[in-house]
Structure 1
Amino acid sequence: MKEIAPVTLELHGVRLEPLAPHHAEGLRAAATDGELWTLRVTSVPEPHEVDGYIFKAYEMRGSRLAFAVVDAATDTVIGTTSYHDIVPAIGRLEIGYTWYAKSRQRTHVNTTCKLLLLTHAFETLGAALVGLRTDNFNHASQAAIERLGAKKDGVLRHHAVRRDGTVRDTVMYSIAAGEWPEIKAQLLYRLARHGRS
């Protein structure tokens, strides 16, 4: 797998650009849209934590490449997503740290972001496998990952601490390179049905 370098990706009015300090105000607004930090099963920062959230993502470079999700028409930050747990030696990476402003959920945004990230991972970087993970109680996220066509690998029990101090089980999924053409076709079909061809 090629080395992962910062890149900007754009499709259907959604732009992914490397997350940077100048995105902080927009990320605060996106988190406030729905008070997403109050959701028990996500790791969305509170508005006063956003600068630290961006700094931590920057500190993790090498094993993580974080993106701001931007509405290209208005240059409005509407969320964030990342490549993470990058292991070039075996061609593996994961997509996660993903959240969007409540007003952008259940729109074409997530499908478009996943199409951009998966296309870049498999077709440019040469990934052998892309993983995704979520909280065992985040049923909406599990359903979204399963709609992508990812296969459920299993559950890591007692795996990570939640914001409220409880310990979550983590549900692991993956997409192998050989499965990508069919999954890509399905993502393109879904976007076309929503007028995003």
Structure 2
Amino acid sequence: MDARWIGLGSSCILVAIWLVAYGFPQGEIAVSLVSIAAALQLIIGYQTGKQMDQLRQLAYHDSLTGVLVNRRFLERLDQEVDLARRGKYPVTLLFLDLDNFKKFNDKHGHIEGDKLLYRFAQILQSCVGKEDLVGRWGGEEFVVLLDHCDTKAGLAAGEQIQNQIRHHLGGLTVSIGVATYPTHASDSGELTLMADNLMYEAKKKKDCILAASN
């Protein structure tokens, strides 16, 4: 739930408790003073919740690209795999790595390299649905979790990402590993390891996408 409304609700409860404990004010001045105090309490509660939301946003999202940080992505991955287990539907994990990113950085500098990573993250987000997850694994490695998606659909999404990268990032390419729960893994840990290993194999060839076999 949005922390702003939690803060506002908590303030309402505090105001109600105060009124019950001390009674409703009598007289016009007293009513005005209590009304002002109550309004200030509500504002404080709302603003405190807003600040908590902002801090949570910073903690959960990569400061450069805006996608989920590694730790938060892993937490969400565990949750989504658990939901998939209970709902008996597949989810597919993509590990992605920009090919020759170090050479790009060495040639153009780290500032341009950071811009490239930001654009890469934007492309990933544009290629997946709102219910899907995009995270930064580390450096130029990113991860995508496709909800209610089998391997065939995961490969199609990966190929679309590859086409967009070639078109929008000046000829750069991306290598991708694809694995699906429960087809290729029994839990989130196995799924992560499988997709990661496949990505490293794909990276040996460059501009390659490899999926786990059934």
TM-score, normalised via structure 2 length = 0.29
More strand by share: 1
More helix by share: 2
